[in-house]
Chain A
Amino acid sequence: MVNAVVYKMILASGILVLSLLVAMYSTLVERKVAGWFQDRHGPNRAGPWGLLQPLADGIKLFFKEEFMPNTADKFLYILGPSLTMLVACLTSAVIPWGPDIVINGESYALQVADINIGILYIFAIVSVGVYGIMIGGWASNNKYSLLGAVRASSQMISYELAMSLSIITIVMMTGSLSMREIVNQQQGFNWNIWYQPLGFLIFLICAFAETNRAPFDLPECETELVGGYHTEYSSMKLGFYLFAEYINMFISGAVMATLFLGGYHFPGLDKLGLSPNVFALVSFLVLFTKITFFGFIFMWVRWTLPRFRYDQLMKLGWKSLMPLAILNVLVTGVIILFNL
């Protein structure tokens, strides 16, 4: 019992540190990738290949002046970024990071909480995620921040629906809401993406919208709204907002890999006859590679596509993705019903 609790705590903090590290280096990778897409090198001065750049950025953010508008709602102003960060870190709890590992003859799951409603948990966290932005945007007492916050909330609500509907098909196919169950049904090359390509596409688009990434970054649209919801933020509070975006990116990559790309499974991996711990490590690396792939797609799209106009965004969400998702659910239901 005590062992299990200690193990869970170590695992949870390990995953937290991992997501923070990944988010840290995502900022560097983002700038590097942006540079490469534009025939530049990207940051390469701080350390070899610019590897110390995130550290430099972090130190810079820490030592920036802490500024607060004097008409701001002090408590909510601080609560905003904190909440965003907290919510961003919460989702990783239900993601299965790999098969069980064995320590001293006892097997432990590489998952913080294998609750039987893992998918719903993710939905809950995602739907709560908008509070940080809304509170921060409102508390700044700035019209641009407020507009950003309002945009964020309506965008998130709109795309959450299509997102949930696209996942319902997965739930219908696997008959379970547990993330581990869903992963285990995708052994080998039996990935969900082959059965639900449309669902995957819808989920991918919605993931862009939910993480406020380009081309859906209207809440922080700098050409119209100065900085959107974080216009009035500076120093580490701004850092929290920016950082949370990268954590969200990492986590949504993990969720997509888990739900559609077979999580930590890779064809032929289980036939290699590796010892359990090595197998777990390799599987984890497989999952990590998939997440990295999604991270790259996030950046790739960001540096390719221009931003949507707001009415286009709403139209896409409600008039294209929603009906498509419902259609997807219907077709899947019919196929399951008649066992086609």
Chain B
Amino acid sequence: MFTKYIFILLTVLALYSGIMVLVSRKPIHSVLFLTLTFFAIAGHYVLLNAQFLAVVHVIVYAGAIMVLFLFTVMLLNLNKDEHSPKSRWAKLLAVIAGCMLMLTLIGIFRNYDLAVAYDPMMTQIGLVKNLGKILYENYLLPFELSSILFLTAMVGAVLLGKKEQL
């Protein structure tokens, strides 16, 4: 089937660009590779029949956050090779933190019942209608709480921006 090859292609793309984010020397390249990773992941969402998630992923991550990232990197002009060599401790801590994240992820997927994914009902969950229903019926409280989280972040941003006048 086509989808199999597309899946392989997207996976290779996601992994390659993910690695390139770390390996690239220029910050701009890193940012662009990260964007590419997001696109590959959006492609995976489409393969999982979650078009809504895919598109929102592209809008939010590729379209807004990464553009802001790119914007900042361009403005700061980090292009010159002046990345300060991190201390050995910082490197060690980064490795430890990364390993812990990986362990957590492995732990999650080991306990995850893969059979759920084959539930025919689940293949439709990514569509807007079903997703909306589930969000607003089963998960209303977390959904609203997350919006409050955003509100706090926004208020915080405004406060930070107005710092001088306070």
Contacts and interface: CB of A to CB of B under 8 A. Distances in A.
Asked if chains A and B are in direct contact (CB within 8 A), the reply is yes
A127 B67 contact: yes
Nearest to A124: B58
B122 to A, nearest CB: 18
Given A124-B63, A153-B70, A131 B35 contact: yes
Contact of B51 (A116, A123, A128, A157): A116
Interface in B4-41: 26, 28, 32, 35
A284 B84 CA distance: 60
A135 interface: yes
B55 interface: yes
Contacts of B28: 73, 76, 138
B140 interface: no
Residue of A124, A131, A135, A138 with highest tally of chain B CB at under 10 A: A124
Contacts of B63: 123-124, 126-128, 130, 160
A11 interface: no
Interface string A115-129: 111001101101110
A134 interface: yes
Contacts, number: 67
A154 interface: yes
B153 interface: no
Contact of B64 (A121, A138, A157): A157
A239 to B, nearest CB: 24
Contacts of A177: 128
Interface in B73-132: 74-75, 127-129
Contacts of A160: 63-64
Contacts of B26: 73
Nearest to B66: A131
Interface string A145-168: 010011001101100100000000
Contact of B55 (A121, A131, A150): A121
B62 A150 contact: no
Contact of B67 (A120, A121, A130): A130
Interface string B50-72: 01100110110011100110110
A153 B55 contact: no
B116 to A, nearest CB: 24
A71 B14 CA distance: 29
A233 B57 CA distance: 32
Contacts of B62: 124, 127-128
A157 B58 CA distance: 14
A330 to B, nearest CB: 16
B10 to A, nearest CB: 17
Contacts of A154: 71
Given A116-B51, A117-B128, A135 B71 contact: no
Nearest to A123: B59
Contact of A120 (B55, B68, B75): B55
B32 A127 contact: no
Contacts of B52: 117, 120
Contacts of A123: 55, 59, 63
A219 B28 CA distance: 20
Interface of A: 73, 76, 115-117, 120-121, 123-124, 126-128, 130-131, 134-135, 138, 146, 149-150, 153-154, 156-157, 160, 177
Given A127-B62, A128-B62, A128-B63, 18 more contacts: A73-B26, A76-B28, A76-B32, A116-B128, A117-B52, A121-B55, A123-B59, A123-B63, A124-B62, A127-B64, A128-B58, A131-B35, A134-B74, A135-B32, A146-B74, A150-B74, A157-B71, A160-B64
26 contacts: A73-B26, A115-B51, A117-B128, A120-B52, A120-B59, A121-B55, A123-B59, A123-B63, A124-B63, A127-B63, A127-B64, A127-B67, A128-B62, A128-B63, A130-B67, A131-B35, A134-B71, A134-B74, A138-B28, A138-B70, A146-B74, A150-B71, A154-B71, A157-B67, A160-B64, A177-B128
